[in-house]
Amino acid sequence: MDIVQQLKEAFGNLTAAKLRTLLAILGILIGVASVVAMVTCGEMATQKALDQFKTLGTNLMSATFYSSSGATTDANKFTLKDAYNLKQEIPSIKLLAPYTTTFSAINYQGKKVNGSTIGATENLQKILHLHILQGRFISNLDNYEPYAVIGANVYKTIQKTGVTDAVGKQIQVGSTIFTIIGVAKPWPESQFFNQSINNSVIVPIKTSFVLSKYTSINNMVMAMEKNYDIDKATTKIKSYIQKSRKGAQAYVRSAKKLIASMESQNEIYTLLLGLIGGISLLVGGIGVMNIMLVSVSERRKEIGIRMAIGARRRDIQLLFITEAMILALFGGTMGVIIGIGTALAIAYFANWDFHIFWLPPFIGFAVSAATGIFFGFYPAYRASQLDPIQTLRSD
Amino acid sequence: MSVIKLDKIRKSYFPGDMEFQVLKGLDIDIKEGEMVAIMGPSGSGKTTLMNILGLLDRPTDGRYYLSTREISTLDDDELASVRGRMIGFVFQSFYLLSKLNALQNVMLPLRYQSTPLNEAKERALKMLDRVGMGEHTTHKPTELSGGQQQRVAIARALVTKPSVILADEPTGALDTKTGKEIMDLFLELNRDEGKTVVIITHDPRIGAQCKRIIHIEDGEILKIEYNK
């Protein structure tokens, strides 16, 4: 029997039982759509998480200092000089920026501003790829000057008072009055830098020491040379810090390792989502099987007639397999479309960049075809094994 | 030449430990171009005989030659193809596929023989014309009267040029007048085109129109009657 006739006939049989066909298609459709939507969302979330490194680059490392005794004393304090020496010691460090963080009340014209204070050197701008909207960034020549660069959100708060040009305006941190010398453009949040630049007032690092006696360098970020050895650099940094300051420890992270662990986490996450979708596809497949079985038992007489006029067992089998395949492929195609649509909607509401990943639709489609064959096979086989005499006699 | 030759055909069923003999060693010989009625009361085994003649069932014992070919060695698929090519069934309640129109119903056996579509269509149209249904090729069975449906069914049985037409109570579901028309069609096919026709019936008026009547009772041939 030729394929075109076979398909035509299968279509005819399917449209003859519209509600049943619709239900079977719906089962597959929901299954495939959920696989496609969930896996696509998983991939988009991964992309979103990795996007932060697009601006920063991947040759980044960071170190957080802490003292093994718990208290930071003058003896184990990491200093600017230590930072300078560290860079001399380890040639794979291209740029190095130690920074301090202080939590003092920030006020602008008597209005409270939410945020923290970062004491930084001029390298911080280069390493974090900070862009300046107005004025300039901190320079190493600023020394102890009461100058401040404000983050995007701080600038927003100031704007509410009717100011557009913030440079030259004064902002109070703790009890010290600072002159704003620059405004930073919005900076994408990154897991790699502990502070939110957007909510910060950035001052010269030496000035930050003066703000509070508790201020110390507790973090640094480093831009590394290309093709640096992560493990070697990590060990070197750790041992240098332990050697230079008694009782000092450092927690060192590298962007590459962070990305790798994020990727593997997201892979598991995506896999789980796919699995959940897969379960609904399985349920859909069982639905197809159920409906095909009903169809076989309802069409016993037809099967008998076909056998009487010369249909072989495999002709009968093909008849039902074709119908199951059409159900599955149609449901699969619709499912892929609706799945991508759902992912688009989720991306829109979650503020993710929408991408079409080719793998999930492809998998969804292939799996739906396989579902059709797998779950269509048993009912078709049952149909083909019927006894022509029995089926002819049935009503 | 014999189209059908049964040699000591037995058919038994085994409900539980008992043996229940439906056919008890039948010898039947039907020649090409013959018109034969197989008659018997219900329970005589004539339906079982028809199933065996039509290759829908296998005998428990004995040999069945269909156009000299011994069929007991054939597997299910071969049996289906031989059935499709050599047997033309006509049933009491027509058994047309309700989703297909008259033409598609008649084409169906040819499609199982992988006849090219154009040729199948041409042959089916010709056959519908032959049985007087040329005007109703696109009608679905539900849109046709009983007599018309049976004509389509006869066209379907004839379209494969079978060696024998097996008709199981072909007029049983029809009124007397329509039944007579269908019977006339069989007689005409037999007389003008030399078709071999075997009619299974319990109606003596049908039997009387055939040249030979084989009476069956309790799985055995009771008597053979010849009409002029």
Residue B175: per-residue pLDDT: 93
Q: Work out the number of other CB atoms within 10 angstroms of the CB of residue B43.
A: 11
Buried b (16+ CB within 10 A) or exposed e, B52-71: bbbbbbebbebebbbbeeeb
CA distance A234 to A258: 13
Q: pLDDT tens across A191-202, in order? A: 778 788 899 999
Residue A73: per-residue pLDDT: 65
* Gap from A301 CA to chain B (nearest CA, Å): 8
pTM across the whole model: 0.75
Q: Starting at the edge strand that comes first in sequence, how are the strands of the sheet with B2-13 ordered?
A: B20-31, B2-13, B61-66, B69-70
Place of tokens 């005794």: A69
| A181 has pLDDT over 70 | yes
Higher pLDDT among residues A380 and A278, named by residue: A380
Q: What is each CA distance from A123 to A88, A128, A138, A153, A323, in whole angstroms?
A: 15, 9, 9, 22, 68
Residue A260: per-residue pLDDT: 86
**Residue A252 included in any domain:** no
Residue B90 Cα to chain centre, angstroms: 5
Residue A354: per-residue pLDDT: 83
Place of tokens 């493990």: A231
B170: contact with A, CB 8 A cutoff: no
Backbone angles phi, psi at A136, to 5 degrees: -140, 175
Average pLDDT of the segment spanning A165-173: 90
Same domain, A133 and A205: yes
Using CA coordinates, name the residue in chain A closest to B113: A1
**Residue A175 included in any domain:** yes
**Residues of chain A positioned with their CB less than 8 A from the CB of B59:** none
Which one of B81, B89, B111 has the shortest CB-CB distance to A312?
B81
ipTM attached to this prediction: 0.94
Q: Starting at the edge strand that comes first in sequence, how are the strands of the sheet with B164-168 ordered?
A: B87-90, B164-168, B197-201, B35-39, B212-217, B220-226
Same domain, A231 and A295: no
**Residues of chain B positioned with their CB less than 8 A from the CB of A5:** 111, 117
Q: Are strands A200-204 and A170-173 parallel, antiparallel or unpaired?
A: unpaired
**Contact assignment for A314 to B156 by CB distance below 8 Å:** no
**Contact assignment for A2 to B108 by CB distance below 8 Å:** no
Residue B127: per-residue pLDDT: 95
Q: Which residues pair with A119 in a beta bridge?
A: A100, A203
Helix A255-298 and helix A313-350: axis angle, to 10°? 140
Domain boundary among A212, A244, A276: A244
Dihedral of CA B50/B51/B55/B60: which sign? negative
**Residue A249 included in any domain:** no
| A137 has pLDDT over 90 | yes
Same domain, A277 and A352: yes
Residue from B56, B89, B106 to probe the interface with A (highest A Cβ count within 10 Å): B56
Total number of domains in chain A:
2
Average pLDDT of the segment spanning A379-389: 93
Average pLDDT of the segment spanning A74-95: 83
**Residues of chain B positioned with their CB less than 8 A from the CB of A307:** 56, 80
| A242 has pLDDT over 90 | no
Same domain, A109 and A215: yes
| Host domain of residue A14 | 3-53+261-393
Higher pLDDT among residues A69 and A243, named by residue: A243
**Contact assignment for B99 to A311 by CB distance below 8 Å:** no
| A69 has pLDDT over 70 | no
In contact, B223 and B51? CB cutoff 8 Å: no
**Residue A73 included in any domain:** no
* Gap from A351 CA to chain B (nearest CA, Å): 52
**Residues of chain B positioned with their CB less than 8 A from the CB of A308:** 54, 56, 83, 89, 95
**Contact assignment for B80 to A311 by CB distance below 8 Å:** yes
Residue B104: per-residue pLDDT: 94
**Residue A62 included in any domain:** no
In contact, A72 and A216? CB cutoff 8 Å: yes
Q: pLDDT tens across A251-276, in order? A: 888 888 888 888 888 889 888 988 88
3-state secondary structure (DSSP) of residue B100: coil
Residue A205: per-residue pLDDT: 92
Higher pLDDT among residues A351 and B207, named by residue: B207
Structure tokens, A142: 């600023």
Share of chain A above pLDDT 70, in %: 97
* Gap from B121 CA to chain A (nearest CA, Å): 12
pLDDT along chain B (228 residues), means of 10: 93 88 93 94 90 93 92 90 94 92 95 92 96 95 95 95 94 92 94 94 91 94 89
Average pLDDT of the segment spanning A364-379: 87
Residue B11: per-residue pLDDT: 94
Domain boundary among A244, A276, A303: A244
Using CB atoms within 10 Å of the CB of residue B224, give its burial: 0 to 12 exposed, 13 to 18 middle, 19+ buried: exposed
CA angle, corner B131, sides to A392 and B39, nearest 5? 50
Q: pLDDT tens across A104-133, in order? A: 889 988 888 888 999 999 999 998 888 999
Same domain, A357 and A388: yes
CA distance A324 to A28: 11
**Contact assignment for A305 to B95 by CB distance below 8 Å:** yes
CA distance B73 to B174: 38
A49: contact with B, CB 8 A cutoff: no
**Contact assignment for A308 to B54 by CB distance below 8 Å:** yes
**Residues of chain B positioned with their CB less than 8 A from the CB of A306:** 97, 108, 112
Residue A249: CA atoms inside 13 Å, Cβ hemisphere, count?
Answer: 7
3-state secondary structure (DSSP) of residue B179: helix
**Residue A61 included in any domain:** no
Buried b (16+ CB within 10 A) or exposed e, B83-119: bbbbbbbbbbbbbbbebbbbbbbbbbbbbbeebeeee
pLDDT band at A72 (very low <50, low <70, confident <90, very high): low
Same domain, A183 and A149: yes
Using CA coordinates, name the residue in chain A closest to B158: A309
Same domain, A275 and A224: no
B94: contact with A, CB 8 A cutoff: no
3-state secondary structure (DSSP) of residue B115: coil
Residue A71: per-residue pLDDT: 62
Question: Which amino acid does the sequence have at A72?
Answer: T
Same domain, A26 and A120: no
**Contact assignment for B80 to A13 by CB distance below 8 Å:** no
Residue A280: per-residue pLDDT: 86
**Residue A71 included in any domain:** no
Higher pLDDT among residues B198 and A280, named by residue: B198
Q: pLDDT tens across B96-137, in order? A: 999 899 999 999 999 999 899 999 999 999 999 999 999 999
CA distance A53 to A256: 10
**Residue A43 included in any domain:** yes
In contact, A171 and A202? CB cutoff 8 Å: no
**Residues of chain A positioned with their CB less than 8 A from the CB of B99:** 12-13, 16
CA distance A30 to A23: 11
Using CB atoms within 10 Å of the CB of residue A21, give its burial: 0 to 12 exposed, 13 to 18 middle, 19+ buried: buried
Question: Which amino acid does the sequence have at A229?
Answer: D
Same domain, A207 and A314: no
**Residues of chain B positioned with their CB less than 8 A from the CB of A301:** 95
**Contact assignment for B111 to A5 by CB distance below 8 Å:** yes
* Gap from A311 CA to chain B (nearest CA, Å): 6
Same domain, A310 and A378: yes
**Contact assignment for A312 to B76 by CB distance below 8 Å:** yes
Domain boundary among A219, A244, A269: A244
Q: Per DSSP, which regions of B32-107 are E strands?
A: 35-39, 61-66, 69-70, 87-90
3-state secondary structure (DSSP) of residue B153: helix
Same domain, A91 and A231: yes
Residue A74: per-residue pLDDT: 66
CA distance A3 to A106: 77
* Gap from B86 CA to chain A (nearest CA, Å): 9
Closest CA to A208 of A113, A118, A114: A118
Closest CA to B81 of A282, A314, A26: A314
Which residues 305-334 of A have a C-beta within 8 angstroms of B? 305-315
B112: contact with A, CB 8 A cutoff: yes
Same domain, A87 and A221: yes
